[in-house]
Structure 1
Amino acid sequence: MTDDGGTSEVARVISALTRNVADFPEPGIQFKDLTPVLADAVGLATVTKALAEIAVGSDLVAGIDARGFLLGGAVATLLGTGVLAVRKGGKLPPPVFGESYALEYGEAILEIPADGIDISGRRVFLIDDVLATGGTLAAAARLLERCGAIVPAAAVVLELSALGGRERVQPLPVTSLTVV
């Protein structure tokens, strides 16, 4: 694992399988598509194992909508814990706990169920696919903490360092498997 864009084996696998898409979602953006990483058996196993090593000691894994669900479920299985899906607003039946956050083009909300899952006092490890501007990861951590969880750390597969997301999520410790 790396926080500095190093050349670990995990970072090499991610880099080799990531699809770069020019001018998406708008001109001038170089989109990093992790779908091929997750669709590849070695890629998925490598990423899952690396994330699970970081999350050891957690009571629950929380994956952020939508690729975080896949990663969170796989990591939780390796750790022998459950997984909590942190959903985009409007996808869960009420009652829900929600947290709004700013996007570059508006506002969004993340939600978790208010009934049926007690996260109070539990160590909940947070997983997402990409750390870009940090808004989603920061909102998810605030939501979980507001619901009583202890969020000791988070991890992402890919960090886009030029967008400054790490600063926005401080003081939450974040491990990135690869940094570009």
Structure 2
Amino acid sequence: MDLKSKIRVIEGFPKEGISFKDITTLISDGEAFRQAVNLMKKNLENKNIDYIVGPEARGFVFGSAVAYALNVGFIPVRKPGKLPGETVSFEYSLEYGTDKLEICKNALKSGDRVAIVDDLLATGGTINACAKLIESQGAEVVSMQFLMELTDLNGREKNKEYQVDSILEYNI
């Protein structure tokens, strides 16, 4: 199946000049969603993954499905104030300012093998921050898996120290 044909492209959203890749049409198609999850699962088989980590919000969709398929746990990474209990945070730089991500304290431990799963690799900043947050807990980022990659934005270069796999590639 051609998964690209299942992704709706909306020109000029959220602002003029952007060609938005809408995954809702893919995830609403059971067969297409299953194929995308199975392709990510295949990339992670035999890597002895302990956990899948997914950043909000679309990383929850793909990450939890891949975790289920691999029979491993899923750990969410969120913006500040969204997770219950004690959290650990990581602040990272944006083009104009900073942002912060959090994970539940003690969700990971030293030696855990983790794959990060998300829908899109663009500039790579958020996913790199996820990796640093995971590593701050002593866990190892074994792989980064994406449904789509916007190759012109060089997110792979920002994360060249990690294994990065994407199912679909787009030029912006």
Q: TM-score, normalised by structure 1?
A: 0.88
In 2, the alpha carbon distance for the partners of 1:106 and 1:87 equals: 18
In 2, the alpha carbon distance for the partners of 1:68 and 1:119 equals: 21
Paired position in structure 2 for 1:3: none
Whether the aligned pair in 1 keeps the contact of 2:119 and 2:146 (CA below 8 Å) is yes
Q: Which amino acid aligns with 1:154?
A: M
> Over residues 104-148 of structure 1, what are the superposed CA-to-partner deviations in whole Å (9 max), with x where a residue is unaligned?
343221110014x23321101111110000001100001001111
Q: CA deviation at 1:101?
A: 1.9
Alignment gaps of 5+ in structure 1 = 1-8
Paired position in structure 2 for 1:92: 83
Q: CA deviation at 1:26?
A: 1.6
User: Which one is further off, 91-100 or 129-138?
Assistant: 91-100
Paired position in structure 2 for 1:162: 152
> Over residues 29-49 of structure 1, what are the superposed CA-to-partner deviations in whole Å (9 max), with x where a residue is unaligned?
111111111111011100110
Paired position in structure 1 for 2:112: 122
Greater strand content: 2
Whether the aligned pair in 2 keeps the contact of 1:132 and 1:163 (CA below 8 Å) is yes
Whether the aligned pair in 1 keeps the contact of 2:56 and 2:76 (CA below 8 Å) is yes
Q: Which amino acid aligns with 1:55?
A: L
Q: Which amino acid aligns with 1:90?
A: G
In 2, the alpha carbon distance for the partners of 1:26 and 1:105 equals: 18
In 2, the alpha carbon distance for the partners of 1:134 and 1:88 equals: 17
Percent identity reads: 38
Residues 119 and 39 from structure 1, CA distance in 2 versus in 1: closer, same or farther, beyond 3 angstroms?
Answer: farther
Residues 105 and 32 from structure 1, CA distance in 2 versus in 1: closer, same or farther, beyond 3 angstroms?
Answer: farther
**Equivalent residue runs for 1:30-45 within 5 Å:** 30-45=19-34
Return the match for 2:92 from 96, 101, 112: 101
Secondary structure of 1:28's aligned partner: coil
Return the match for 1:60 from 37, 51, 55: 51
Alignment gaps of 5+ in structure 2 = none
Bigger relative contact order (CA 8 A; separation at least 6) = 1
Q: Which amino acid aligns with 1:111?
A: E
Whether the aligned pair in 1 keeps the contact of 2:108 and 2:134 (CA below 8 Å) is no
In 1, the alpha carbon distance for the partners of 2:7 and 2:167 equals: 13
Secondary structure of 1:152's aligned partner: strand
Q: TM-score, normalised by structure 2?
A: 0.92
Residues 25 and 103 from structure 1, CA distance in 2 versus in 1: closer, same or farther, beyond 3 angstroms?
Answer: farther
Runs (4+) off by over 3 Å: none
Whether the aligned pair in 1 keeps the contact of 2:7 and 2:22 (CA below 8 Å) is yes
Q: Which amino acid aligns with 1:104?
A: E
